[in-house]
Amino acid sequence: MSNVELKDFTSIREVNLLRIKEAKEQGGKVVGVYCTYCPQELILAAGAIPVGLCGTKEEPIAAAEEVLPRNLCPLIKSSYGFAATDTCPFFHFSDVIIGETTCDGKKKMFEIMQEIKPVHVMQLPHLKDSEAGLELWIKELHRLKKFLEEKLEVDIKDEAIWKAIDTVNAETRAAKDICDLNQMDPPPLSGLELLTVTWSRSFTADKNEVTNMLETFKKRLLEKKVNRPRPRARVLLTGCPVGLGTEKVIRITEELGAAVVAMENCSGYKTLELLTSQEFDDPIVALAHKYIEIPCSCMSPNAYRLELIGRMIDDFKADAVIDLTWQACHTYNIEAYAVEKMVKGKGIPYLHLESDYSNSDLESLKIRIEALLEMVTG
């Protein structure tokens, strides 16, 4: 792989869709995944393709609201709407879907989604530091393994899981390396470019290939001289998941001359420090230890998230923090209180935004973000 450009990441979805279609025609299996808690290593070890599913666009929300309540997080409505209207090709090709009990809304939505495809829901413990929590999670990983073995008619071997662990660890390291480049000033990637890279990688059919792409892209970025001007302010984005289609906060921030240098959210930095340890005898136990550490706001307490944001503020030299909550996401909304206290304690301006996938609040988001930037630059 001699040359990789941003457009290669933009086209990941399209290119991989064709490959997934071909793989399916040759009898391959596809497992649809919604959330970073899903241990993709088990899917890889089963010889299937794990693929991210659509849920970051507004279009299918109206259809979802025929079934789901309006006052629900847009991510859940969008995910369900794509599935119900058969407009997410990745969902279309999935043999089975894996969900997790990250929140009440998703948990109950998955019950309804069963009408469309087989959905396996993992029960995620919410008190991660308890012995019972870890024990439950290990059992849930075993249950997922059994489900995959039955549905995909395979036998998942330990060696195959260890091999998949290597693959995913390598991809995680490569993604983190790209994100860390933005610690430079000026940052080599705009927030929108960074989002394109980190979000698109979940739609790939071949993890090794995307690792290569990330590594080559990093080399290219290091060779290339950055000739963009220094941004008006360096902003750290945290909070609910953002993908292409729901990037309005990043777009507005950058149109106002600032740069979103890092994102502590699901497809971004949130999971990138977490690698599966090879120190355990049992690969399932090893995986459980990694995945339970993900600092999602559904965990209580969620100290690692605050520690991570604090460290990211220093490492990425952030001038301000924007905390984005999607409407009706209670856990991120409430946790904003602790994030605000921590960020302001470091003497940095903090802005909490509550929004949905629509464009109806662009002006009111803009004035808030503009005022935040004026607080930084005077």
Residue 370 binds another protein, judged by CB under 8 A: yes
Which H/E stretch holds residue 245?
none
DSSP class of residue 270 equals G
Out of 15, 181, 348, 375, the only residue in the binding site for another protein (CB under 8 A) is: 375
DSSP 3-state of 25: helix
- Tell me the window of 134-142, 148-156, 167-175, 366-374 that interacts with another protein (CB under 8 A): 366-374
Q: How far is the CB of 347 from another protein (least distance, A)?
A: 10
- Tell me the window of 82-90, 175-183, 244-252, 362-370 that interacts with another protein (CB under 8 A): 362-370
Residue type for position 107: K
Q: Which is nearer to another protein, 127 or 371 (CB)?
A: 371
Q: Are strands 119-122 and 96-100 parallel, antiparallel or unpaired?
A: parallel
108: its two tokens:
């109950």
Residue 367 binds another protein, judged by CB under 8 A: yes
Q: Which is nearer to another protein, 26 or 360 (CB)?
A: 360
Cα(first)–Cα(last) distance of the chain, in Å? 46
Residues 97, 34: contact at Cβ < 8 Å? Answer: yes
Burial class (CB in 10 A: 0-12, 13-18, 19+), 378: exposed
Q: How far is the CB of 179 from another protein (least distance, A)?
A: 29
Which H/E stretch holds residue 278?
none
Of 251-270, binders to another protein (CB under 8 A) are none
DSSP 3-state of 198: helix
User: Considering only CA atoms, which of 34, 203, 199, 30 is closest in space to residue 109?
Assistant: 34
DSSP class of residue 346 equals T
Residue 378 binds another protein, judged by CB under 8 A: yes
Out of 185, 282, 307, 374, the only residue in the binding site for another protein (CB under 8 A) is: 374
Give the C-alpha separation, 128 to 301, whole Å. Answer: 8
Q: Which is nearer to another protein, 106 or 248 (CB)?
A: 248
Q: Which is nearer to another protein, 120 or 248 (CB)?
A: 248
Cα Dmax for the chain: 63
Using CA atoms, how far residue 60 sits from 52, 56, 81, 105, 263, in Å, is: 17, 10, 5, 17, 26
Q: Which is nearer to another protein, 95 or 370 (CB)?
A: 370
Residue 371 binds another protein, judged by CB under 8 A: yes
Phi-psi region of 204 (alpha: psi -120 to 50; beta: other; left: phi over 0): beta
Q: Which is nearer to another protein, 163 or 368 (CB)?
A: 368
Q: How far is the CB of 256 from another protein (least distance, A)?
A: 10
Residue 229 binds another protein, judged by CB under 8 A: no
Q: Which is nearer to another protein, 106 or 352 (CB)?
A: 352
Residue 360 binds another protein, judged by CB under 8 A: yes
Window 319-358: contact mask with another protein (x via CB under 8 A)? -------------------------x----x----x----
Q: How far is the CB of 348 from another protein (least distance, A)?
A: 11
Burial class (CB in 10 A: 0-12, 13-18, 19+), 69: exposed
Q: Which is nearer to another protein, 231 or 349 (CB)?
A: 349
Residue 364 binds another protein, judged by CB under 8 A: yes
Residues that bind another protein (CB under 8 A): 344, 349, 354, 360-361, 363-364, 367-368, 370-371, 374-375, 378
